Amino acid sequence: MNRITLMFEAAKKERRKTLVGFLTAGDPGMAVSERNMLAALESGVDLLEIGVPFSDPTADGPAIQAAGARALGAGATLGGIIGMAGRLRAASDAPMILFSYANPLFHRGYERVADEAAAAGVDGFLAVDLPFEEASEFRALLAARSLFFIPLVAPTTPEPRMREILSDAGGFVYYIMVKGVTGLRAEAAPDMKEHIEALRRCTKLPIAAGFGVGNGVQARAVAAHADAVVVGSALVEAARQGRLESLVRELSGALRG
C-alpha cells in the first residue's frame, strides 16, 4: 500500500491531523537542501513535498519564487532532485511527493520520470499547471507504478468540476484555500469551512489545506476542518533563517495538541 494512504490511516486511528511540509529542492544548494529536508522530517513533518524549481512558477509567491531562482542558479535539475529523493527515502519512511510544474516533467519524459520516481521511493506527484483533461497519460503511468497523482481544488471550483477532478483520484486532495499565489496570510480564508464541506460531499479522500499557513495557531485553525495542513512559504523562509526545525516542531505540536 502507498505510504500516503498508510500515513492518513494511522493518523485517523490516532485521532490526529498531519503536517505536510514543502521545501524547494536545491535551495540554496543541493547538499544544504537535502539536509534541510531530512531535518524537517525528523522534526515532525509527516509528508514531505519536494519542490521542483521552475523558471516560470505561476502559482508561487515571492518566497518560493526566490527559492526556485536560487536553486536553479545553483544547478538544481529534476534528475538530481529525484536522486535526492532516493537518498531521503533511505533515511526515512515518511511519504514524499514531488511538487512540479508540467514542463520539467514533460521535458524529461513522463514515463522516464515515473520510472525514476518509483525506483527512488517517491509516493506521488503534484503538477500544479497540468489540467485534469491533459493529465490522463501521466496519471496512468503513475497508477501503473502505484504512485498517486494528487489533485488540486481551488475555492472557485464548483462541485460538478470537483467530482470530475476527483473521479479517479488517490492519496489525498490538496485544497488551495485562497485565490492567488502561495505566501503567508494573516488569517485563514473565511469560506474555508464551507468549501471543505463541499469537498467532502465529493470524495472520501483525506483533505489537505494549504496556501497561507505560517504558524501553529493558523495550523490548528485549519486542522479543525481539514485532515492535513500544508505549509510551504513559511518553511522556506525558516530554512533560510536557521529556524526550520523550531517552526516544524511548533506546527507539528499544534496539530497534535
Task: Tell me which residues are annotated as active site.
Answer: 49, 60
Phi, psi for 153 (deg, rounded to 5): -130, 135
The strand pairing partners of 152, in sequence order, are: 174
Q: Which contacts (CB < 8 Å, 24+ apart) does range 148-151 have?
A: 148/2, 148/4, 148/97, 148/123, 148/124, 148/172, 149/124, 149/125, 150/97, 150/124, 150/125, 150/126, 150/174
- Residue at 36: amino acid letter: N
Q: Quick one: which of 160, 171, 152, 252 has its CA closest to 209?
A: 152
SS3 13: helix
CB 28 within 8 A of CB 83: no
